[in-house]
Amino acid sequence: MKQRVYTVGVGDQVRLIRASNRRQAIAHVSTGLMTIRVASQEDIIHQLSKGVPVENYTASEQIELEL
């Protein structure tokens, strides 16, 4: 499988990740930085009560070139 080297940045920190695609590179970096799961009703109530807004996903403006 063809792999490329991607730059993945979090704040000022940039890492070089060899992966088959952009999603794999992001998944590799995010593993140690964050967790993700579907929010429970209690999670939503708790976070909204703290003023945390619900954000809508928006597609990146960066274009992925496929060669």
The pLDDT value recorded for residue 10 is: 81
pTM to 2 decimals?
Answer: 0.60
> What one-character-per-residue DSSP string does the chain give?
---EEEEEEETTEEEEEEESSHHHHHHHHHTTT----PPPHHHHHHHHHTTPPPPPP---SSPPPP-
Looking at the predicted structure, is the pLDDT value of residue 17 above 60?
A: yes
Kindly state the percentage of the chain with pLDDT values over 90. Answer: 61
